[in-house]
Chains A and B, each alone.
Chain A
C-alpha cells in the first residue's frame, strides 16, 4: 500500500488506495464478464490441442506397428507403406436410407464387398497366405484406419471451431475428449494383443462354444464360420462359431439362416453367447441372461438372426459376459476367462430348463475368435 501511496496515488489527488483496489476489482470482473467465452475458448482450444497431439501419436504408432507386422511377420516383399497409407483413407459408403425397405440387404452387400476387398488388399501385400497372419493383418489395418479416422474427425472440429471462433463447438469437443481418448487408447492397446495372436475379451463366446466342438467333425457353414453337431442330455446341438484361431467374427447370421432354412432344422431354442459392454460400476466377468439376439456390429447379422428366429417362431436366449471396451478388444482378462466355466453352467441350465429330450438347439458363440480354435 505504501508503494501506491508514494507513487501512483500522487497522480490522482483525492483517490485513496482502497478506492484504487476496488476499481481494479471492478475492471477485472467487467473484463471477465465481457470476455468469459473468449477465455474459455482459449482454454478449450489448448485442452483439445493436447488431446489431438495424443491422438496423432496413437494413430502414427498404430500405422507403424501395422507396417512392421506386414514386413516382419507377413514378409511383405515391397515397402507396404504407400498401400497402407492409401488404405487408411479407404471408405465404405453406406446406402441411401430415404426408402428403407431392403436396406439391410444393401448394407450387407456393401459390408461384404468391403471385407472382401480388405482381404484381397492384405493378400496382395503379404508374401504368404497363412490365414492367421492374414486375419491379424486385416484387424491391424482396421485398427489403424479407425485411429486415423478419429484423429481426422477431431482435427476437423478443432480447426472448424478455431476458424469460426465457435465457443459451443469447442466446448462440446472439449467435453467429449476424455471419452474419445479412452476409446482411442483401447484401440491402440488392441494392436499388441492382435500382433501376438492372443485371445481378446470379445472371444469369450467362442471359447465356451469351442468346448462343445472339441473332437467333433466341423464343417464350414458360412464365410469364416464353422459348425459342429453334438449332443447334450438327449438334445441335438448345432454349435457354431467363427473359424479360429484366426481373428474372424464370421457370419453367424448367415449360418443360423442356413441351419433353419436350407438344412431344415426345427430348433426349440437358439442360444447366443457374447461379450457385452458393462456400465461403469459393473464388475468385469459378470454374467447376465436375457432374450434376444446377442450380437453387436452394424446390425446386419442381428437382423438376419432375428428374422430367422421369427420366421420359425424359435425363442432367442442370450448369455452375456460383461466387460469394458478396453477389455473386449485387448488380451482376455482373468476375470473374463474364468467366467467361461460359469457360462457353460448357465448354458447347460438354459438348455435343460427350456428344452426337452429329443429337441434340436442352436448354440452360437459370438465374437472375435482370435487365438481360439475349435
Chain B
C-alpha cells in the first residue's frame, strides 16, 4: 500500500519508498512502501545477480503539487 502523508510545509505530500539492496552486487531498487516492510527484512531477488535482497532504507520524499 502506497502511503501518502502531509509534508511539513502543508503544501506538499510525502510519498514513502522502500529501498531494496543486494548485499552481493550492491544493486539498489526503489519501490513504493508496502505495509509490513521494515529495514533488514528480506526482499525480492536481485534483478541483476538473482541473490536475495534486503530492505536497506524506508524513507519519504516530498512531492510538490504541480501548479
Contact = CB atoms under 8 A, between A and B. Distances in A.
Query: Do these two chains really belong together in a complex?
Result: yes
A199 B5 contact: no
B40 to A, nearest CB: 4
Interface string A210-246: 1000100000000000000000000000000000110
Contacts of A197: 35-38
Nearest to A213: B40
Chain A interface extent, by class: 20 to 34
Contacts of A193: 5
Contacts, number: 77
Contacts of A214: 40, 54
Contacts of B16: 196, 198, 331
A374 interface: yes
A333 interface: yes
A116 B22 CA distance: 39
Contacts of A334: 59-61
Contacts of A373: 38-41
Contact of B38 (A192, A245, A333): A245
B47 interface: no
B14 interface: yes
B26 to A, nearest CB: 12
Contact of A337 (B6, B57, B62): B57
Contacts of A330: 5, 60
Chain B interface extent, by class: 20 to 34
Contacts of A196: 1, 3, 16, 33, 35
A115 to B, nearest CB: 22
B16 to A, nearest CB: 6
A244 B16 CA distance: 19
Interface string B1-40: 1010110100000101000000000000000010111111
B13 to A, nearest CB: 12
Nearest to A193: B5
A199 B38 contact: yes
A331 B14 contact: yes
Nearest to A191: B5
Contacts of A326: 8
A304 interface: no
A274 interface: no
A372 interface: yes
A360 interface: no
Given A196-B35, A197-B35, A324-B8, A332 B58 contact: yes
Contacts of B6: 189
A334 B33 CA distance: 13
Contact of A198 (B33, B40, B62): B33
B8 A198 contact: no
A207 interface: yes
A340 B57 contact: yes
Nearest to A188: B6
Given A327-B8, A332-B59, A245 B3 contact: no
Contact of A371 (B5, B14, B38): B38
Interface in A63-106: none
A372 B8 contact: no
A214 B6 CA distance: 33
A199 B38 CA distance: 8
Nearest to B54: A214
Interface in A291-349: 324, 326-327, 330-334, 336-338, 340
Contacts of A207: 39, 57
Given A192-B5, A330-B5, A331-B16, A198 B39 contact: no
Interface of B: 1, 3, 5-6, 8, 14, 16, 33, 35-41, 54, 57-62
Interface of A: 189, 192-193, 196-199, 207, 210, 214, 244-245, 324, 326-327, 330-334, 336-338, 340, 371-374
